[in-house]
Amino acid sequence: MAETHFAGCYWLARQEPIDACARRLETFLGKMGPLEPTWNRWHQSAATFEKARKRQVQPDAVTLAKLLGQKSNRIGDGSRFWLWAGETPDETSGINGRCGGSSMHLSSACILHSLGQSEVAKRVVTAPVMTGVVRAMALAWEPEFALAASNQHRELVAVPMIEDYIGWVTYFADFRGPVPPLPSPVQVEHLPDRGTLITLTQEKFTVSNPAHVALAADVQARLQAAGLLTPLRPWGT
């Protein structure tokens, strides 16, 4: 089975108005554009690819606020969105998310969907781009936790909750606590006023490489011992 990768960021119970969520989405899309050419043009979904291609979304806060404010996109006191990019049906990427909700049971999130074996995936499933995606998530959404990871690796380690899991790239907000020393070749980057990015390897992370799996297990154990792998908490607590 071919290995696939995804990225996502998560936070809990941070109520925000639609305009604030729209500004965050605008910032996120702006930071995604330089990472991949097709990520400069986003669309809403439709019944067919041809119809969806005509539903391009201008990535400015005013337009995005209107999108998030549509009745069909409201969920409780928050908003949700689904956007896609790509030039052909076989070369698409998708993002979806929820923002603004105060629910203690449904986390807010922004997720870049599983990237398959397309030419887009070949370009973006690299350490620089995946780290860039998680960095964009951290800067735009201010999540508590974020990661870019292999779906197959997550299935292999069988973690019950996403925040119990160490991805190829992992991010922790500063309020979770300091990141302990980590072994080579792990790279650690602190984002001022946000948190810390951890990239396991500059090679493409894959479960077929025993060294990658062993490194992930080592780093996961160190972060678990440091108390960083905890359930999401209500924002500000």
First-to-last alpha carbon distance for the chain, in angstroms, is 42
**pLDDT band for position 220 (50/70/90)?**
very high
Can you read off the two tokens belonging to residue 175?
Answer: 């309020």
Percent of the chain with pLDDT over 90: 91
Cβ contact 151:125 at 8 Å: no
Percent of the chain with pLDDT over 70: 100
Please report the pLDDT score of residue 117 as a whole number. 80
Domain boundaries, the chain: 5-225
Please report the pLDDT score of residue 113 as a whole number. 92
3-class state of residue 179 by DSSP: coil
**pLDDT band for position 198 (50/70/90)?**
very high
Can you read off the two tokens belonging to residue 95?
Answer: 């993002």
pLDDT surpasses 80 at 1: no
pLDDT surpasses 90 at 12: yes
| Average pLDDT score, the chain | 95
DSSP 191: E
**pLDDT band for position 98 (50/70/90)?**
very high
Please report the pLDDT score of residue 236 as a whole number. 82
pLDDT surpasses 70 at 9: yes
Whole-angstrom CA distances from 123 to 79, 152, 172, 189, 209 are 31, 20, 26, 23, 20
| C-alpha–C-alpha distance, residues 5 and 147, integer Å | 10
3-class state of residue 174 by DSSP: helix
pLDDT surpasses 80 at 191: yes
Q: Is the pTM of this model over 0.95?
A: yes
Interval 72-81 mean pLDDT: 97
Helices 18-32 and 61-69 cross at an angle (nearest 10°) of 120
Interval 154-176 mean pLDDT: 93
DSSP 24: H
102-157 residue pLDDT tens: 999 999 999 999 878 888 999 999 999 999 999 999 999 999 999 999 999 999 99
Q: Any idea which of 54-58, 85-89, 168-172, 208-212 has the lowest mean pLDDT?
A: 85-89
